Amino acid sequence: MYVSISKREDVNKFSCIFKHIGNLQEIFKLVFTPEGITGQAMDSAHVCLFELKLEKNWFDEYKVDKEIEIGIAAVLFCKMIECLKENQTIILHMDNSDDKLSIDLVGEKGINKYFEIPLIDVDIECINIPETEYDADIELQSELFTELINEMSLFHDILNIKCNGDNVSLTSNGESGKMSVKMNDDDILTYAIEEDAEIQLAFSLAYFHKMCLFRKLASSISIHLSSEAPMKMVYRLDDTSYDDMEADECKNYLRFFLAAKVESD
């Protein structure tokens, strides 16, 4: 197996993913196939699922002859990524019989660095996520949404989202005060909701904060809501702009599925 990432933008995206994945789970599973890489991780409370998909064409070089499943300690991968310098290429490689993953950070200038990370046996079944029809689909600027989440966190640990045909509103209400936001057309890139639908859901702000750590992956995020399914939040990793491709057509993505709070929580 031999995989390399050289383009600066993609190197930055890859490093961003693996710098922050440890905030969700200590160990994650990656599956290398001849078609590309997939990965999943779920937090210990089974509230939030992380899913990564990168097709082989996303990489500069991709040589994988057969399926390889590996488990990696997130903290070790993060330590390696922290050593990445500007204009370096990331290379992942291993022999089929190896019990370790080799990572090279190399470039024409500066010091080349070589790492080995021990693999971990993980008994984690990949979750097959069914296609879901959502009642509301929202596209927002990543930085704007992150700013709102950080501000909402000052007042409570629960985020209430309400969607109807007129607008989208966010509310955080606790002992220290209340913050409400009504988002109009200028704040939202795209918005679609089923006719006559009204959605009101509550989520943990702590999980939203963790998901927003990945905001540098894309200039916008898409949020999909339904009263009958976990919320889906997607960072599109394709080069194509959002206007040129529907969100569920993107081939490379990082997405999260977050269960809503229930009244007894």
Q: What sign does the CA torsion over 225, 231, 237, 238 have?
A: negative
Helix, strand, or coil (residue 182): strand
Q: What is the pLDDT of residues 179-238, one digit of tens each?
A: 999 998 888 999 999 998 899 999 999 999 999 999 999 999 999 999 999 999 999 998
Residue 25 confidence class, pLDDT cut points 50, 70, 90: confident
Angle at 88 between CA 210 and CA 18, to 5 degrees: 20
The pLDDT, as a whole number, for residue 118 is: 92
Asked whether the beta carbons of 94 and 102 are under 8 A apart, the reply is yes
Cα 67 to the chain's mean position, in Å?
A: 23
The answer to whether the beta carbons of residues 233 and 221 sit under 8 Å apart is: yes
pTM: 0.91
Q: Is the pLDDT of residue 247 over 50?
A: no
Residue 241: is its pLDDT beyond 70? no
Distance separating alpha carbons of residues 241 and 136, to the nearest angstrom? 21
Q: Going from the N-terminus, what domains does the chain have, and what CATH number goes with each?
A: 2-118 (3.10.150.10), 136-258 (3.70.10.10)
* pLDDT per position as a tens digit, 80-130: 999 999 999 999 999 877 789 999 999 988 899 999 999 998 776 777 888
Who has greater pLDDT, 122 or 145? 145
* Reported confidence tier of residue 166, pLDDT bands at 50, 70, 90: confident
> What percentage of the chain has pLDDT greater than the value 90?
67
